[in-house]
Structure 1
Amino acid sequence: MGKGGGKAHTPREAKDNLKSTQMMSVIDAIGEGPIEGPVKGLQSILVNKTPLTDTDGNPVIHGVTAVWRAGEQEQTPPEGFESSGAETGLGVEVTKAKPVTRTITSANIDRLRVTFGVQSLVETTSKGDRNPASVRLLIQLQRNGNWVTEKDVTINGKTTSQFLASVILDNLPPRPFNIRMVRETADSTTDQLQNKTLWSSYTEIIDVKQCYPNTAIVGLQVDAEQFGGQQMTVNYHIRGRIIQVPSNYDPEKRTYSGIWDGSLKPAYSNNPAWCLWDMLTHPRYGMGKRLGAADVDKWALYAIGQYCDQTVPDGFGGTEPRMTFNAYLAQQRKAWDVLSDFCSAMRCMPVWNGQTLTFVQDRPSDVVWPYTNSDVVVDDNGVGFRYSFSALKDRHTAVEVNYTDPQNGWQTSTELVEDPEAILRYGRNLLKMDAFGCTSRGQAHRAGLWVIKTELLETQTVDFTLGSQGLRHTPGDIIEICDNDYAGTLTGGRVLSIDAATRTLTLDREVTLPETGTSAVNLINGSGKPVSVDITAHPAPDRIQVSTLPDGVETYGVWGLSLPSLRRRLFRCVSVRENTDGTFAITAVQHVPEKEAIVDNGAHFDGDQSGTVNGVTPPAVQHLTAEVTADSGEYQVLARWDTPKVVKGVSFLLRLTVAADDGSERLVSTARTTETTYRFTQLAPGNYRLTVRAVNAWGQQGDPASVSFRIAAPAAPSRIELTPGYFQITATPHLAVYDPTVQFEFWFSETRITDIRQVETTARYLGTALYWIAASINIKPGHDYYFYIRSVNTVGKSAFVEAVGRASDDVEGYLDFFKGKITESHLGKELLEKVELTEDNASRLEEFSKEWKDANDKWNAMWAVKIEQTEDGKHYVAGLGLSMEDTEEGKLSQFLVAANRIAFIDPANGNETPMFVAQGNQIFMNDVFLKRLTAPTITSGGNPPAFSLTPDGKLTAKNADISGNVNANSGTLNNVTINENCRVLGKLSANQIEG
């Protein structure tokens, strides 16, 4: 207000009085019915992860109506959901000049819901007041070619945000028909009036009361206002299908009463055995159309189900069932995959025994039958029991088990299971697995520990062949192997005779019993079951006296010793196969019954203290690694680590520093993540140090782990080890400090390269590796060959380092090498093959030629002539042959001679003296003219030799005339005459000087 007076006005803002009110109505199909239903009523329905009610039943989210049906064959339609609709989103602006038209083609709809509104609705006066405004819209249908207004809607009020409204159109015209929205109010031409209109969507509604038979459903009606613009998610915590369980089974108490008669009853259960039965026999969603109830061994499932219900420690000081099954099958999958997943939840495998689908569970059980060396059929090598062992890479020492964690909002958590002693012995060999249907941390831990102990304890497989006794057990049965060869003593056989009065057994072989301890013998009673009885006396090497004689023991029955120093060897049969000769091939894997106690008692967890201040102790970080990679000229580092235990709510702090020129560390980057990997990008060359530590929600930090790495070109090899071989040289570079990120480039040359800068243009590139074997028939003994090697990594390459080496000079080794090559060739096999001559002093002359194409369609040919004779039981061969063969090294032409003596004779002028003879591993020649001779040892004739040169460089000669220079570091000279001048640069010592 100025000097002359006046009147001030403060702009007025009217309240927003337009609010959208929309109800979301949805029906969720939970799954196949019937089901037990929500675990805790409305508290088991979670909207955006928030339960509808608290533990006392008080509403947490208001304005929600829920109706559920269990999924019976005959069930009533859900109240309030008498219609179903399909919404089509539009989101287009409607203007005065451009009405919006759409065509409806659906033939079965009964009504149409049209949703429309304004982006904002407000008018600003010249004085700055913001007041309500209005806009008018017409909703029209085209009937008989004319537009008919069905709804005349005026939106009057004020809103600064989007406002939507809906109207229902009944009495729709025949399909197809057009619908349009017309704006009657003039469009705004100024910012002072904001009244843009839009057509948001239309919904095609069908009025029908559907009961959804055999489908468990939940109907929800939710006021969308309280969720604003959030996308709404709904989760349900339910007890699943009502399935068939044994009639004497109480699924809540997990108890069994009396003897089961084989009948079933409907009940809810999460016992994996009866969940599997339901999946196999249900005709609608399972395999019931292909497998009948009689085709599945329910008696085996009954025993498996009892084993699953037994209580074991849960790791928190309480107990829980050994195995439960809580899974949601939402996708169609192959039957075998689903069956395998179900079986994995209870440590069993499916087996077709010829009549029914039965199941073999890994649990302790009684021995069905013992097998000894007298039972089995030996092979051509005299071996009865054939053993094999698992590979070391298949023995895992750590397992990460993924399971559904109720304490983590039913999200996936990971349980880390480790065997520290096995890690120290074998190293850390990690396996990642999913525990199917597992919602218990203790069960997940047991699943991982079972994998580790199975792979570490049960490493042996046995194969053997039997007669009719192979039918005395089926796959899955426990058998005992009494193998004399494996035990190193006689442990089993047959009973030859029985003296019932004295309880004395005569065995088919002599046995040795220890002087101390109690020994026992396993015998087969009249029921066909093995019985163990103590041995009380050993009157003779092949006789034993027992404490009691089992009923029904027969002569020629099987016996097996149990000695104090000899552990019983138990195996679980996994297959029985009938051979064409009437025998049975048995395959069994090692069985360690103590594994059950190790696994069931192996879980120990800290209590859940997440509700107390500073209750969750952050775990230590371990196994931290940093891997450097290059991408488009920039360097990246991928860090990986893990923790000894998985704790929810824990994140990880990362700190990356680089060494500065003054020796200090400069901070490069920090990061925080909930994962166990992190990637740093755009890093410059330098020496780095990465530190990672866990931190909980209250800021407490766990023990850190650090790793140093270097982004730089690698150092050159400090030394190169050259190992000679037959026509090959192995080059192994070594760094002064080991770096796992470094490999080596190998270049090869037959001559020395004086200018190291010419290596890449002159030498031959071999490859990049940690070592290289240069092997070729062109690598000749006695010649120098040159390697040029440099270090390489993702950053760069070092300078070249030269190394010179030779192939082996072991002559005897080369002869053995050629022996192997010759005997492997087709010509060598033909020449050296012995033909059995039936009579002594018999002989045979054979000439043969052959052409053929090998598997690679390569042409081969050979010709040979061979004479064979047998005399005094000895076989003699003389022959020669030519061949052209395709080998791994390439095409090979050979001329081979098989004889005691090979000689070349020139009979000209009556000279019968051979010019060359090879006999007795020696070669004889009169005169040799060579361009080059390589010989580790050279010796002249004479006794003793007048001249010799040994591989260590020692030269011995009776007389030597040397006209050139002599360089010697030390030595002794007798009776030396110096004809000309002599110069002594060092000290001269003499006992006597005459002048």
Structure 2
Amino acid sequence: MEAITGAKGGSQKQHTPVEQPDSAQSMARCRMLLALGEGEFAGGLDATSIFLDGTPLGNADGTMNFENVSWEFRPGTQTQTPIPGFPAVENETTVGVSLTKATPWTRALSNTQIDAVLVRIGIPGLQQQENDGDIVGTTVKYHIDLAVDGGAFSTVMTRTVTEKLSSLYELTHRINLPKASTGWQIRVVRDTDDSTSQMLQNKTQVQAITEVIDARLRYPHTALLYVSFNAKSFNNIPKVSCKPKGRIIRIPSNYDPIARTYSGTWDGTFKWGWTNNPAWIWFDVLTEPRFGLGRRVTAQMLDKWELYRIAQRCDQKVPDGKGGDGTEPRFMFDVYIQSQADAWQVIKDIAAGFNGMTFWGNNMFNVVSDMPADTSKLQILTRASVVGKPVYSSGSEKTRFSSALINFSDPDNHYQDRTTAVMFPDLVKQFKFKQTQITAIGCTRESEAQRRGGWAVYSNSLDRIITLQTGLDGYVYVPGTVFAFADERLSGRVYGGRITGYNAGLKAVTTDRGTSAVAGDTLMIRTRGGTVESRVIQAVNGTQLVVATPFTAEPLPNAVFVIDAGQLRLQYFRVTNLRFDDEENTFTITGAEYNASKYDAVDNNARLDTPPISLIPTGLVNQPTNIVVASYDAVRQGQRVATLTASWDAPVDKNGKPQADVIAYRVQWKRGDNEWVNVPETGLRNIEVPGIFEGDYLVRVRAINSGGASSLWATSALTHLKGRAGEVPKPVGLKASEDVVFGINVTWGFPANTGDTLSTELQYSIAADGSNPMLLASVPYPQKLYQQMGLKAGQEFWYQARLVDRIGNQSGWTDWVRGQASIDVSDITDA
């Protein structure tokens, strides 16, 4: 056997890898100085209204959301102090470029006003894993070169970093710049070889570069916000935002901008204060010389009194759209203009905040708002003061809208744009569903955005335009003027002309033509006072109109007059364009349809009223629709009385809109096989017939237009209604005489419980079988005798009768009875 020899082997203890702790932490701070805007700001900033990436610095209870954060605010006054600890102007530009040994990073600087640059280097990680698994620190080296005016690069600093890092570590290097004519070039070069192994992490990158102007600046007239915070709180530079109260501007001396009230009468002077009333913001932009048009436009070139009226309307309270009794100002304007823009466009955008229009005229910068007309400035025109014919026009149905999407700035979402919608069912019926989209500049409330959308949609639907020419009467017109126009060729009635005389004692105006006026209509005349005065007509005597109260000033000779009638309204337009022909001495006026009910419809969701302006029939009258027949019971004088009710919808035109020229309805009803019973003509869309009997009822309705034309009958469904049992009783004791000379007496009686009888109807026939009967008379209740006279001797007729009650119910006919004119000669002669 072979012997095996050897020695006992040894063993090694297993090694546990160890990671060296990080030896450095990034402590970079971010300092930001923001120019908020042209001062002076009202301020109102605190930690709850300054945000980093949408998160407020602090909370209402005083707690902070960030550590080591500080901020300061300057309102932008002439004498404000500099921000302490911020002696330079810095403009940082994010780079975020990986730095490798093969590819240095270079940046050209052309702003020769800067004094230095700050280069921020980032090292995402700096560590090496050894063979035994230990993770330890390592070294990376880089340097920065500078070239002046296109010359050669020279190294200005070298940095070697020997650390153990597992997260981002940042280093900021300030490079002072020598004087230059054209600029500099900065180059960052990595000296350490790039890692080719996952066991070595030494990546470097250029995070940002900052241009620095060394100065201790206070920035007069510029509102400033300084914020400083620890860079480790963010991966990138956060977005800084804030919600201060903006510029302090000129406002009326009697105005409280917080309560939005005006005390007493304004004397035309101003004071300084903060407001977001769009009218006074518009005034500030026009008159401010530093950033607005104040070097070209003076306060004397603006109609501050009209602006005052507009501003008051902006501050009026309207429903806030949240239900209940809550209200809010009609218009507010919260806007942050951050870039240079065309001045005229900016002015128009601000004016849109109060539905306004701006124009230059009479060496004045004018503004008007689409608002209820000032009656003291109302003007009038008729065909008597128009050259040629007026031209009417309107938009295509393709451009009519029934809904709108409105973009506004939502303060609950850091003023990001949000969209709300409005829709009007009546307009959907007329134009179908057609939507427009608008941007409500300066709007931060959903309710106001909806009002702006409603105004846009209603204005779009009221797009009737008139263009006409007039003579020197046009001197009183400017864009925005509202005028009433009487056009007899459109209305079908004479409601305008010129006056030929005025008798102050009789309060009588003599016109140059006969008119369609009646007592109760309103007469409107331009007087010597320069205004249009309105008076109620008390009496009409041919061409003479007598008013109820005298005019404040005597009417001008040959002055134009118009009449606003109850059944027919004048056309109203607001001037949108005005052009003067100095050769013909005529004014060409273009006006858009003005409807005073639009404003309540926008603010309060009231019904948009479209009064009739013409009595000329438009053609075929369509049938009413949706006739509904029902009944209800009521107790009258201790007895139950059943009442028939019928209602219907107005006929509509091809656009689904109620026909404008329908003025009345003719209604009939019947029970069972009885005859149709007429109801008095009505302008309503419902009737009631009290005291009905039980039975099956039909109701039919036809529409009547202003020209007297009527539609076809529209008939309801057969409806069974509860009511009095039984029928109207027949007359009793019907008799016809035979002894009346040249005539026949017909008599009858009334049965019990017929006190509601309206009349007795009589028919007669020449045949005993009652063929071809003819209506003889309807005898009012309670008469019970009728004499048929003028007959020849011996004339023979047969008669029948029935009762009709007060609502039209009819009894059955009685049996026929015979009557004859007397044939007795002694009744005729004395023989």
Normalized against structure 2, the TM-score is what? Answer: 0.64
1:461–1:103 CA distance, 2 compared to 1 (3 A):
closer
SS at match of 2:350: helix
Structure-1 residue corresponding to 2:369:
361
Contact 1:370 1:560 in 2 (8 A): no
Contact 2:99 2:190 in 1 (8 A): no
Distance in 2, matches of 1:575 and 1:297, equals 19
Q: Does 1:319 align with 2:319?
A: no
SS at match of 1:396: coil
Contact 2:500 2:511 in 1 (8 A): yes
Quote how far apart the aligned CAs of 1:289 are: 2.3
Distance in 1, matches of 2:110 and 2:333, equals 47
1:29–1:563 CA distance, 2 compared to 1 (3 A):
same
Match 2:339 to one of 331, 336, 354? 331
Instruction: Kindly report which structure 2 residues correspond to 1:602-681, keeping only aligned pairs within 5 A, or say none.
Output: 602=605
Contact 2:495 2:517 in 1 (8 A): no
SS at match of 1:360: strand
Instruction: Give deviations 1:627-651, integer Å, cap 9, x for gaps.
Output: xxxxxxxxxxxxxxxxxxxxxxxxx
Distance in 1, matches of 2:379 and 2:340, equals 44
Q: Does 1:585 align with 2:593?
A: no
SS at match of 1:537: strand
Contact 2:383 2:486 in 1 (8 A): no
Structure-2 residue corresponding to 1:561:
563
Quote how far apart the aligned CAs of 1:17 are: 3.6
Structure-1 residue corresponding to 2:225:
218
Quote how far apart the aligned CAs of 1:113 are: 4.6
Structure-2 residue corresponding to 1:454:
459
Quote how far apart the aligned CAs of 1:82 are: 0.7
Quote how far apart the aligned CAs of 1:252 are: 1.4
Task: In structure 2, give the amino acid aligned to 1:48.
Answer: D
**Percent of paired sites with the same residue:** 33
1:80–1:491 CA distance, 2 compared to 1 (3 A):
same
1:534–1:10 CA distance, 2 compared to 1 (3 A):
same
Quote how far apart the aligned CAs of 1:142 are: 11
SS at match of 2:426: helix
1:534–1:122 CA distance, 2 compared to 1 (3 A):
closer
Structure-2 residue corresponding to 1:840:
none
Distance in 1, matches of 2:296 and 2:23, equals 64
Match 1:18 to one of 20, 24, 45? 24
Backbone CA RMSD of aligned residues: 3.8
1:472–1:81 CA distance, 2 compared to 1 (3 A):
same
1:94–1:440 CA distance, 2 compared to 1 (3 A):
closer
Quote how far apart the aligned CAs of 1:424 are: 1.7
SS at match of 1:572: strand
Quote how far apart the aligned CAs of 1:413 are: 0.9
Quote how far apart the aligned CAs of 1:487 are: 1.9
Task: In structure 2, give the amino acid aligned to 1:493.
Answer: G
Task: In structure 1, give the amino acid aligned to 2:75.
Answer: A
Instruction: Give deviations 1:874-933, integer Å, cap 9, x for gaps.
Output: xxxxxxxxxxxxxxxxxxxxxxxxxxxxxxxxxxxxxxxxxxxxxxxxxxxxxxxxxxxx
Match 2:298 to one of 288, 292, 300? 292
Quote how far apart the aligned CAs of 1:61 are: 1.9
SS at match of 1:345: helix
Structure-2 residue corresponding to 1:718:
none
Q: Does 1:348 align with 2:348?
A: no
SS at match of 1:521: strand
Distance in 2, matches of 1:518 and 1:146, equals 97
Structure-2 residue corresponding to 1:550:
551
Aligned length: 591
Structure-2 residue corresponding to 1:503:
507
Distance in 1, matches of 2:69 and 2:590, equals 61
Quote how far apart the aligned CAs of 1:335 are: 2.4
Distance in 2, matches of 1:179 and 1:569, equals 74
Structure-1 residue corresponding to 2:37:
31
1:6–1:491 CA distance, 2 compared to 1 (3 A):
same
Contact 1:573 1:589 in 2 (8 A): yes
Structure-2 residue corresponding to 1:56:
61
Distance in 2, matches of 1:488 and 1:179, equals 85
Q: Does 1:73 align with 2:81?
A: no
Structure-1 residue corresponding to 2:490:
486
SS at match of 2:354: coil
Match 2:46 to one of 41, 44, 48? 41
SS at match of 2:225: strand
Instruction: Give deviations 1:231-277, integer Å, cap 9, x for gaps.
Output: 52112212211212122212111111222222222211111111111
Structure-2 residue corresponding to 1:84:
89
* Gap runs ≥5 in structure 2: 1-7, 608-831
Q: Does 1:533 align with 2:541?
A: no
1:186–1:431 CA distance, 2 compared to 1 (3 A):
closer
Contact 2:522 2:563 in 1 (8 A): yes
Quote how far apart the aligned CAs of 1:40 are: 4.3
Match 2:447 to one of 442, 445, 456? 442
Quote how far apart the aligned CAs of 1:434 are: 1.0
Distance in 2, matches of 1:505 and 1:162, equals 94
Structure-2 residue corresponding to 1:310:
316
Distance in 2, matches of 1:142 and 1:587, equals 67
Contact 2:522 2:534 in 1 (8 A): yes
Contact 1:369 1:472 in 2 (8 A): no
Structure-1 residue corresponding to 2:829:
none
1:467–1:126 CA distance, 2 compared to 1 (3 A):
closer
* Gap runs ≥5 in structure 1: 605-995
Quote how far apart the aligned CAs of 1:59 are: 0.7
Moved more, 443-452 or 519-528: 519-528
Quote how far apart the aligned CAs of 1:216 are: 1.8
Distance in 1, matches of 2:104 and 2:446, equals 61
Distance in 2, matches of 1:102 and 1:345, equals 45
Instruction: Kindly report which structure 2 residues correspond to 1:410-429, keeping only aligned pairs within 5 A, or say none.
Output: 410-429=415-434
Contact 1:141 1:150 in 2 (8 A): no
Contact 1:121 1:194 in 2 (8 A): yes
Distance in 1, matches of 2:429 and 2:295, equals 52
Quote how far apart the aligned CAs of 1:78 are: 1.1
Task: In structure 2, give the amino acid aligned to 1:217.
Answer: L
Distance in 2, matches of 1:305 and 1:503, equals 39
Distance in 2, matches of 1:389 and 1:182, equals 71
Structure-2 residue corresponding to 1:597:
600
1:495–1:35 CA distance, 2 compared to 1 (3 A):
same
Quote how far apart the aligned CAs of 1:329 are: 1.8
Distance in 2, matches of 1:325 and 1:530, equals 35
Contact 1:87 1:203 in 2 (8 A): yes
SS at match of 1:28: strand
1:173–1:442 CA distance, 2 compared to 1 (3 A):
closer
Distance in 2, matches of 1:295 and 1:411, equals 37
Distance in 2, matches of 1:76 and 1:241, equals 19
Task: In structure 1, give the amino acid aligned to 2:544.
Answer: R
Contact 2:137 2:162 in 1 (8 A): no
Instruction: Kindly report which structure 2 residues correspond to 1:273-292, keeping only aligned pairs within 5 A, or say none.
Output: 273-292=279-298
Contact 1:142 1:148 in 2 (8 A): no
Distance in 2, matches of 1:341 and 1:325, equals 11
1:55–1:467 CA distance, 2 compared to 1 (3 A):
same
Match 1:404 to one of 409, 420, 436? 409
Quote how far apart the aligned CAs of 1:598 are: 0.5
